[in-house]
């Protein structure tokens, strides 16, 4: 029986609290440090990885017999060779398909290949593979490329990836899907789309954002007995609703609406008043005590739809609000410009979204009292670059935004990123149903309500992100396609009251 290293099978890592996320070089550094401290060769970790993969595959696909293991030219391929040898030991005859001849390999990968051949195993070169002439696989293992991918895949490797994606079988990715940049989450020309990924030692930050969310599938981790030293600072952290909901404690019995803050939302130009309505409703459902809307005077009063939303009289004291939101439905005409200039200098915490961000891009300034919530298009305008550059390295983009504009920045998208200048947090909850109008307006309203109730800007943004995403996941139980922003409102109220 092959020994199980770590706890990838016994316990899904996602059930635990916030997860550290690492860059590839940090993982390699941990491996080297482990080898020095233990006085063991790194090949031991390759053996452990192969053993963990064998147990993992048998656990999740117990009836599979035809395994096709695609092995690459480096240590990822070495893991695959070890897996093949162990699979043969338990009675399977895996088909090993190599991108490079075993004799051309180096280091530990070559040793693993030689031990596979010595055990009686064979190798089929990828260019000679004729899938139609072979029994179809029950399981495909992607051990082509690991964390070292820095350049677009070669034409030959791209063809192998296409072969893997074209096979009608589940795919287990070794460490991370081949073609994925471990640090940025971008597909380097081609990307294996895995059913499940077993990653080793630590979760690479690129696995949970950008193209990583389409390539990884279900993600599990096995530490292989390697732990980071106390001085190791993660590149980022994964946050989710279960890990943060404990902050949402019940209110004191003596609480009144003044304790819960006053939110003023500015926007809602002609034809876009729905954005303000959604943001205002989200603020109310997330617990703000009082909410006023400053929208275009020719728009119908929001109170006709939501009686609890107040208007903004012309003679209202500018010091009324404890938090302001600027931008939902603001527009880019003269009325929008005037409202932007009026609200941008607020002394209270400010949430800037939508056209508020577009106006800011035209007149950049640095402030520490605001939360910016751009999507990639708005981020590109704020940085004066292309959307492709933003999406090419979302971690770098959110850091640049925070450095340039200050405060807290939430870069929306698959794997939303939050940067407060000290750390980056990643929220990988949410679903494709959120790709519809009004979702960002809800997020602004939620964050504003949490600010109004006393959370710091960083924590209000993190809490807001996970509440927003969790609400979307709950609403999506009835289907992602056709999900509306307003479908999230009842769930928002439930989620801000986890103990009630």
Give the residue numbers of the binding site: 75-79, 142, 146-152, 175, 178, 275, 329, 375, 412-416, 440-441
Q: Measured between alpha carbons, how far is 284 from 301 in angstroms, rounded to an integer? A: 16
Sequence ranges of the binding site for K(+): 76, 142, 178
Burial class (CB in 10 A: 0-12, 13-18, 19+), 256: exposed
Sequence ranges of the binding site for (6S)-NADPHX: 75-79, 146-152, 175, 275, 329, 375, 441
What sections of 144-270 are H helices per DSSP?
A: 155-166, 212-215, 241-244
Is the Cβ–Cβ distance between 354 and 327 less than 8 Å?
A: yes
Q: Measured between alpha carbons, how far is 265 from 294 in angstroms, rounded to an integer? A: 6
Angstrom distances, CA of residue 201 to CA of 46, 109, 197: 12, 18, 13
Question: Degrees (nearest 5) of the Cα angle 258, 261, 264?
Answer: 125
Sequence ranges of the binding site for AMP: 412-416, 440
Q: Measured between alpha carbons, how far is 398 from 404 in angstroms, rounded to an integer? A: 10
Is the Cβ–Cβ distance between 119 and 150 less than 8 Å?
A: no
Reduced to 3 states (helix: H, G, I; strand: E, B; else coil), residue 174 is strand
Angstrom distances, CA of residue 215 to CA of 174, 296, 303, 320: 12, 44, 45, 48
Q: Measured between alpha carbons, how far is 174 from 106 in angstroms, rounded to an integer? A: 19
Is the Cβ–Cβ distance between 19 and 237 less than 8 Å?
A: yes
Q: Measured between alpha carbons, how far is 22 from 67 in angstroms, rounded to an integer? A: 31
**What six digits make up the tokens of 253?**
């019995």
């Amino acid at each position: 029986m092959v020994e199980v290293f770590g706890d990838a099978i016994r316990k899904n890592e996602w059930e635990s609290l916030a997860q550290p996320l690492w860059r590839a070089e940090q993982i390699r550094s941990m491996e080297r440090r482990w080898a020095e401290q233990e006085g063991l060769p790194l090949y031991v970790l390759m053996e452990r990885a192969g053993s963990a993969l064998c147990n993992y595959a048998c656990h999740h696909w117990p009836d599979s017999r035809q395994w096709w293991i695609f092995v690459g030219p480096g240590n990822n391929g070495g893991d695959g060779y070890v897996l093949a040898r162990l699979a043969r030991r338990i009675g399977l005859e895996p088909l090993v398909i190599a991108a490079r001849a075993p004799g051309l390999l180096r280091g530990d990968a070559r040793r693993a290949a030689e031990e596979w051949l010595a055990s009686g195993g064979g190798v089929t070169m990828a260019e000679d593979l004729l899938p139609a002439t072979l029994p179809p696989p029950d399981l495909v293992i992607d051990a082509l490329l690991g964390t070292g991918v820095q350049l677009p895949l070669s034409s030959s490797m791209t063809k192998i990836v296409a072969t893997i994606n074209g096979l009608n079988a589940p795919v287990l990715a070794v460490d991370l899907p081949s073609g994925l940049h471990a640090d940025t989450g971008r597909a380097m020309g081609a990307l294996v789309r895995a059913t499940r990924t077993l990653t080793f030692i630590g979760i690479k930050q690129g696995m949970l954002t950008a193209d990583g969310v389409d390539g990884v599938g279900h993600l599990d981790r096995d530490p292989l007995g390697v732990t980071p030293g106390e001085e190791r600072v993660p590149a980022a952290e994964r946050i989710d609703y279960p890990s943060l909901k404990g902050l949402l404690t019940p209110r004191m019995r003596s609480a009144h609406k003044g304790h819960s803050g006053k939110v003023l939302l500015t926007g809602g130009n002609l034809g876009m008043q729905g954005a303000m309505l959604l943001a205002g409703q989200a603020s109310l459902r997330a617990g703000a005590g009082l909410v006023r809307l400053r929208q275009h005077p020719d728009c119908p009063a929001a109170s006709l739809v939501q009686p609890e939303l107040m208007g903004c009289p012309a003679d209202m004291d500018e010091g009324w609000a404890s938090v302001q939101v600027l931008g939902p439905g603001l527009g880019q005409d003269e009325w929008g410009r005037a409202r932007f200039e009026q609200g941008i200098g607020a002394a209270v915490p400010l949430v800037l979204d939508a056209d508020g961000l577009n106006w800011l891009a035209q007149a950049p300034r640095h402030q520490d009292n605001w939360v910016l919530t751009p999507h990639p298009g708005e981020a590109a305008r704020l940085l004066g670059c292309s959307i492709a550059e933003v999406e090419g390295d979302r971690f770098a983009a959110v850091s640049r935004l925070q450095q340039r504009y200050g405060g807290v920045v939430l870069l929306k998208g698959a794997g939303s990123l939050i940067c407060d200048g000290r750390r980056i947090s990643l929220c990988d909850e949410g679903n494709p149903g959120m790709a519809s109008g009004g979702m960002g307006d809800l997020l602004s309203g939620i964050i504003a309500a949490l600010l109004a109730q006393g959370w710091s800007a960083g924590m209000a943004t993190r809490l807001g992100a996970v509440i927003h995403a969790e609400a979307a996941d709950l609403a999506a139980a009835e289907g992602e396609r056709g999900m509306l922003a307003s479908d999230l409102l009842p769930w928002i109220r439930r989620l801000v009251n986890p103990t009630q």
